[in-house]
């Protein structure tokens, strides 16, 4: 799928460190071994998505960068981890398997809300209608799976958790669609302001 040369398909996300990705990869292997037949996400595409933007003009990148800087102005570095699994949209009609995000999620929620507000106000981007539910997509299901199998997996892995990780900023990613799947490329990184301890040093 070719994109307009003057546009890129993009999203805003938090990068996930390799230690966390490795932990999630082990979870994917265990899910597969438990009988879950699905298309599992590649490690390089695992990001904590905050806002999917769709196609944006290259000419708007500078304005987008400034808007993202405004959105993170009141956000401090914080720590998160992935835990447990769940499905969208329901156990009976599961299409997505995900792991939830725990930790200092109040900071993450404030960040997501700030992005929605600033991008709407500054660039006229439509606000999300769905409530922000931070998660990492582990797999996509293309056929019906037994609800009993899904419930068993949720119970089996309810105590799963990754190492925690520090969130120090957000990134704009370009997503190129190909026959081999999506390929993500970081366009730029917006760091959070220094935390209070560092600011006092």
Check which CATH number belongs to the domain holding 104 and give it: 3.90.1140.10
**Which tokens belong to 176?**
């190129």
Domains: count for the chain: 1
Q: How far apart are CA 180 and CA 185, in angstroms?
A: 15
**pLDDT for the residue numbered 196:** 43
Q: Is residue 124 one of the residues assigned to a domain?
A: yes
DSSP 71-98: HTTTPPPEEEEEEEEEEES-STT--EEE
Range of the domain at 181: 7-200
Q: How far apart are CA 104 and CA 113, in angstroms?
A: 15
Q: How far apart are CA 103 and CA 196, in angstroms?
A: 19
Q: Is residue 25 one of the residues assigned to a domain?
A: yes
Per-residue model confidence as pLDDT tens for the chain (201 residues)? 344 568 999 999 999 999 999 999 999 999 999 999 999 999 989 999 999 999 999 999 999 999 999 999 989 999 999 999 999 999 999 999 999 999 999 999 999 999 999 999 999 998 888 889 999 999 999 888 999 999 999 999 999 999 999 999 999 999 987 766 778 999 999 999 865 444 443
Q: Is residue 80 one of the residues assigned to a domain?
A: yes
**pLDDT for the residue numbered 4:** 55
Q: Is residue 77 one of the residues assigned to a domain?
A: yes
Q: Is residue 20 one of the residues assigned to a domain?
A: yes
Q: How far apart are CA 111 and CA 106, in angstroms?
A: 9
Q: Is residue 2 one of the residues assigned to a domain?
A: no
Q: Is residue 151 one of the residues assigned to a domain?
A: yes
Non-local CB neighbours of 161 within 8 Å, separated by 6+ positions: 81, 82, 83, 84, 102
**pLDDT for the residue numbered 1:** 39
Q: Is residue 42 one of the residues assigned to a domain?
A: yes
Using alpha carbons, list the distances in angstroms from residue 191 to 103, 119, 149, 152, 171.
Answer: 19, 17, 42, 40, 9
């Amino acid at each position: 799928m070719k994109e307009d040369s003057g546009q890129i398909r993009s999203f805003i996300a938090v990068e996930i460190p390799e230690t966390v990705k490795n932990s999630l990869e082990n979870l994917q292997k265990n899910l597969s071994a438990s009988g879950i037949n699905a298309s599992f996400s590649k490690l390089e595409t695992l990001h904590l998505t905050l806002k999917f933007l769709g196609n944006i003009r290259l000419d708007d990148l500078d304005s987008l960068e400034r808007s993202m800087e405004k959105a993170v102005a009141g956000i401090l570095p914080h720590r998160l981890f992935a835990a447990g699994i769940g499905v969208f949209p329901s156990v009976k009609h599961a299409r997505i398997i995900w792991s939830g995000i725990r930790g200092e999620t109040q900071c993450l929620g404030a960040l997501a809300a700030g992005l929605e507000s600033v991008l709407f106000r500054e660039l006229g981007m439509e606000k999300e209608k769905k409530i922000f539910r931070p998660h990492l997509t582990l797999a996509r299901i293309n056929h019906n799976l037994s609800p009993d199998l899904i419930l068993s997996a949720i119970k089996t892995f309810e105590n799963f958790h990754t190492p925690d990780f520090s969130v120090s900023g957000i990134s704009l990613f370009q997503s190129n669609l190909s026959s081999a799947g999506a390929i993500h490329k970081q366009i730029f990184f917006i760091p959070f302001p220094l935390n209070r301890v560092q600011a006092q040093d």
